[in-house]
Amino acid sequence: MNLQVLETEIGDVRSDIQSLRLEVAAIEVERAQLALKVLALQDELQQPSPQHRPHEKDADPVPPIIQHSHFDPSISRFFQAPQDEPVPQTTALPRFLPQAEALVEIKENILYENTYRIGGVTAFPLNQRLFAANDEVLGLRFDMFSHAKCQFLQPHYAILKKSTVTDKTGHQLRQWTLYRHTLPVYVPLEDYTKELNSEDGVTTFALHIRNFLVKIQHKHDVVEELTKLDLQTFEKGSMVAGPSGNSCRIIQKVDKDLQCQRLVLYILHKVGEKRKFHQVELNCNLDSIETANISTIDLKHNAVIAMCEGLLRGCKFSDLSTTFSKVIEILLSNKVIDPLT
C-alpha cells in the first residue's frame, strides 16, 4: 500500500478514535453516576436507624476529601503533596472513594476537553518518530459548534511540518507547509498557506481557517432556523394545525450544498387538492445573498414576487431570519402562498 495513503488512513482512524473517546467518556460518566447512587443506597440501608445513632451537638456532616488525579500524568508528581497521617474512614469509604475518584477524573477530562473546544483552535504535539529528525511538526484542531443543534460537530485537523528547503539562489530556509489535513475541500487553503511563513504565520493561518469555517457554519445554522418557521408564527392567536403536524411548516424542503452557496427553499402552496411549491433560490457568498429568484405559480403575483426578491437580494446572513419572515408575511397577506387551502 502507498505510504501516503496509509498515513492518511491512520490520520482518519485517529480522528475517529478521538471522537469515540469523547462518547465513551460521556457514557462512563453516566455509568459512574448510577454506580454511586447504588452504593449510596446500599450504605444508607446498612447504617443504624436514627434513634440508635449518637447525637453530637453542632456536628455538621463533612464529606470525604477527594484526591485529585491530574489531567497530565507526566507532571502529576510535581504537584502531589506529602502524605499526611491517614484519615479515619468509615466502613463504606473504601468502597465509595475509588468510584468517586474515577467519576471526578472523567468529569475533569471532559471539562478540559470542552474548554479547549470552546476556544475553537487547539494546537497539540505529534509523534516525532513519524517524521524526520530535523522536522518540526505541529497539529491543529478546529472545533465548530452548531447553535441550531446546540452541539459540537466533528472536529477538523491539520498537520503542519517545518522542513528545510532550498530556494532559487541556493539558500536553505526553514518553512512551514501543510502536511496533512481533514478540512473541507471548499476551504481556500491555497490562499491561507501563503501566510504560514510570514510573521505570526501559524496563528494567522489558523485564524483564517477558523473564521471561514465559522461563517460557513453560521449559514447552515440560519438555514436550519428558517426551516422551523411555522404558520402559527404569522397568524397570531391562531391554533391552525394540519392533519400530519407538518402541514403548518412554511418551508417543506431545503436543497443546499456543503458551503451553502446555493439554496433552494420549497414553500408549499395548496390549490384545492393539488400541492404546488414556490421555489426560493438564493445564491450566496460568504456573508450575504447575491441573487434571489422566487418561482411564480400565478402571473398576477409577479409584482409581489419582485418586491420579495428585492428584499432578499443583498441581505446579510445575520439578518436573513428577520428578512425572510417579512417575505413570508408579504406572501401570506397577498395570498401568494396558502399552505392550508
**Is residue 20 situated within a structural domain?**
yes
197/327 Cα distance (integer angstroms): 47
- Cα distances from 13 to residues 72, 90, 250, in angstroms, run 23, 46, 41
Shared-domain flag, residues 248 and 268:
yes
Domain count, the chain: 3
State phi, psi for 335 to the nearest 5 degrees: 60, 25
pLDDT value of position 308: 94
**Domain endpoint, select from 172, 204, 220:** 220
pLDDT value of position 43: 67
Query: pTM of the prediction?
Result: 0.64
**Is residue 258 situated within a structural domain?**
yes
20/14 Cα distance (integer angstroms): 10
pLDDT value of position 242: 45
pLDDT value of position 199: 84
pLDDT value of position 16: 67
157/184 Cα distance (integer angstroms): 10
**Is residue 75 situated within a structural domain?**
no
Q: Position of cell 426551516?
A: 227
Shared-domain flag, residues 11 and 112:
yes
pLDDT value of position 307: 94
Cβ contact 158:184 at 8 Å = no
Shared-domain flag, residues 5 and 101:
yes
**Is residue 82 situated within a structural domain?**
no
**Is residue 111 situated within a structural domain?**
yes
The rounded average pLDDT for each run of 10 residues, N- to C-terminus, in the chain (341 residues) is 63 68 70 70 65 49 43 39 48 62 77 77 83 84 90 90 80 87 94 89 94 96 92 60 56 93 88 77 96 87 92 95 93 81 52
Q: Position of cell 457568498?
A: 285
**Is residue 71 situated within a structural domain?**
no
**Is residue 53 situated within a structural domain?**
no
Domain that holds residue 170: 121-220
